[in-house]
Structure 1
């Protein structure tokens, strides 16, 4: 195996350490297994039309230049997100004969491909021309096969994996002491971007019901406030509810693992979700998970590995949280551990290397 060129429109930096952290984690994993991986990515999440044009144009040209310069040493390119990232790999195949793998994360199918017929058509070509398509959830597998006409034998369902060296059970008492959380309160935790699509308002409404039933509960939300207008709505909703809700800025994965271990229940009330990696990370710490029955979460929490509730339904969400609080943290552990074992880094690394090897063997070259 020679060089793997990874392209991504999301990648963390010192200034933005959580932006596309799952891509970096996979790159680090592959490098730890001895693979030669080079990354060309966007590490700036800032918005604005002018800024977007500038950063995407620079990234696009840099990526093409990298492939041209290293075309003889690159075995496979790997694009994270079908569009726009996959278009770079598509051009690499058309112009330089470089085979590629594309990972579909969800938003590129659920949202990006629905923006226009042109983007949908480009997404279809990107997926159909790929030597392998990786999807992070079973629903996405069905979508790329049925909606975009990709041959089933080319589609591989595989999450980004969970780092069980970081996400593992930690002593709850110690973690609560460190985080200054009361040992007696029932702690509910959410981790993710504070946006409407993550069901944050549904969670606030549900928490009001839960708090009435369990006055000693607390709700902590960890994540970025990317949408200024939504945060105004969120703040108004929180003020209307006479309960204590804490919002924390994004944290490192090591710190997130401490919060997950300190929690009584982890909640992910997304309206749509490709996989729901943070739910898997919560399971790896031994914390019960309540999540909406959407996308990859439907499969991740099936077989009693977690509690599935109806999306966009705060009453159903409240019922699920109360059920989890009543059950405690031991009832579902065997099922949770079974799910985690299917998504460890070692399992993911082995599967990725197998895909890369298979794709690289099919490369046509004049060397």
Structure 2
């Protein structure tokens, strides 16, 4: 049962004082990640938006508006650290004086956020960025019955934790459905976004191939993201090996499991968004075989660059590919990925480019973060988006008319 907020912290609807949002997460490292990109983008947007203050409380976060949460290094995680002392973390969050707290992970900082919010009497929401049930099942491995037991156990934990939040956000329909299947009634969809001006087809630069030592005839396939088990990078490496010349997989990122193979090249994590956009716009296609993605920021950025994408027909990636925005492969077999990639190059790619770009424009951060800020204000003032207000933005992002004037 979600605890009522203390009246001392309640804000009137006409209160124009800056609202202080505190984001907490353990998913923060020197080599990026989707959660970190979302938080940094939001941090910059809120800094330019009147009426907001924003603090990020995460391990290793430093600078103006950032607080280092400390933590224990997690081996093999790609640089993540786990803040262990829940009570100390809660006291530090409380000391920041938030009007609203957003928890970005379901572990110790999530519980600490709940503790701080209850003591302060402020609303607390969670953003479910990952399918932790599937991640845990993959980590444990073993026979199917063992993995199913892990999913049930972790699902029960997630349901117990998230039921105490005022609101739980998830970036895709599939993630919303999974959380609601756990018995949660406080879940809503909130898509993520892309800077469609920065990630743009005009970023294409022939000099990229010269810098990489790649011939103009090479069919350059790009992956950008964490080199983690759930990304299924060995599948991509094998598919490109089977394709042979002139195909080359360029993997940009960092993590414990980089891809290997005769047709694979790896580049380190690229922290400069403009350079990443240049790489994406200059590739012939973007490929992503992950089957646990709750959204898919990197494929969306590639779509914004007008680059065709080939993704797994699973979870959030499948939703991004709807309406012809991407080519989705419903298989984990390298042979079928080989056929799909070859098929992409056998047809006119312009329809894929146009549909992908249109999808990205619907997900521009300006629109996405405006709606998210409206959710925040309603929580601070004691209400949530309901009915059409909560549903129509998601329909809009999928390219479905959202008003009677538009045919809804």
TM-score normalised by structure 2 residue count: 0.75
Q: 1:141 corresponds to which residue?
A: 176
Give the C-alpha shift of residue 316 in structure 1. Answer: 1.5
Task: Determine the C-alpha separation between the residues in 1 that align with 2:270 and 2:378.
Answer: 37
Find the aligned partners of 1:323 and 1:89 in 2 and give their Cα distance: 48
CA 1:23–1:107: 2 relative to 1, 3 Å: farther
Change (3 A) 1:146 1:120: closer
User: What is the CA–CA distance in structure 2 between the aligned matches of 1:119 and 1:96, rounded to whole Å?
Assistant: 29
Q: Which residue of 1 aligns with 2:94?
A: 68
Where does structure 1 differ by over 6 angstroms across 4 or more consecutive aligned residues? none
Matches within 5 A, 1:202-217: 202-211=235-244, 215-217=245-247
Structure 1 residues 62 and 41, CA gap change in structure 2 (3 angstroms): farther
Higher normalized helix content (fraction of residues): 1
User: Where does 1:228-267 land on structure 2 (aligned, <5 Å)?
Assistant: 235=260, 238=261, 243-252=262-271, 253-267=273-287
Q: Deviations over 1:123-155 (max 9, x none)?
A: 2233222222110111000011112x222xx43
Deviation at residue 328 of structure 1 after TM alignment: 4.6
- Counterpart of 2:347 in structure 1 is 327
SS of 1:102's partner is: strand
2: distance between equivalents of 1:335 and 1:41?
36
TM-score where L is the length of structure 1: 0.83
1:150 aligns with 2:169: no
Distance 2:274 2:246 in 1: 27
Tell whether the 8 Å contact from 1:168 to 1:284 is kept in structure 2 after alignment. Answer: yes
**8 Å contact 2:289–2:312 — kept in the other structure?**
yes
CA shift for structure 1 position 104? 0.4
The answer to whether the Cα contact below 8 Å between 2:240 and 2:263 also exists between their aligned partners in 1 is: no
Structure 1 residues 100-249: aligned runs within 5 Å: 100-112=124-136, 120-147=155-182, 149-151=183-185, 154-169=186-201, 170-211=203-244, 215-227=245-257, 235=260, 238=261, 243-249=262-268
User: Equivalents in 2 of 1:286, 1:172: separation in Å?
Assistant: 13
Q: Deviations over 1:299-337 (max 9, x none)?
A: 100111110002421112111111222235412233212
Root mean square deviation, CA, Å: 2.7
> Is the 8 Å Cα contact of residues 186 and 218 (structure 1) preserved in structure 2?
yes
Question: How many matched pairs?
Answer: 338
The structure 1 residue matched to 2:46, chosen from 16, 26, 30, is 30
1:217-242 deviations in Å (ceiling 9; x for gaps): 22211121324xxx5xx54xx2xxxx
**Contact preservation (8 Å) 1:161, 1:348:** yes
Which residue, 352, 368, 371 being the options, matches 1:348?
368
| 1:342 to 1:83, Cα distance in 2 relative to 1, 3 A | farther
What is aligned with 2:112? 88
Shift of 1:254: 2.3
- Structure 1: segments with no counterpart, 5+ residues: none
Q: CA deviation at 1:45?
A: 9.0
Measure, in 2, the Cα distance between the counterparts of 1:8 and 1:341.
Answer: 28
Contact 1:264 1:328 in 2 (8 A): no
> Which gives a bigger RCO, structure 1 or 2 (Cα 8 Å, sep 6+)?
1
Residue 308 of structure 1: SS of its match in structure 2? strand
- State the Cα distance separating 1:46 from its structure 2 match: 4.1
Relative to 1, partners in 2 of residues 1:116 and 1:254: Cα closer, same or farther, differing over 3 Å? same
Instruction: Please point out which of 46, 53, 56 is paired with 1:39.
Output: 56
CA drift at 1:79 = 0.8
For structure 2, the 5+ residue unaligned runs are 1-17, 61-70, 138-148, 384-408
Q: For residue 312 of structure 1, what is the aligned residue in structure 2?
A: 332
Distance 1:45 1:346 in 2: 35
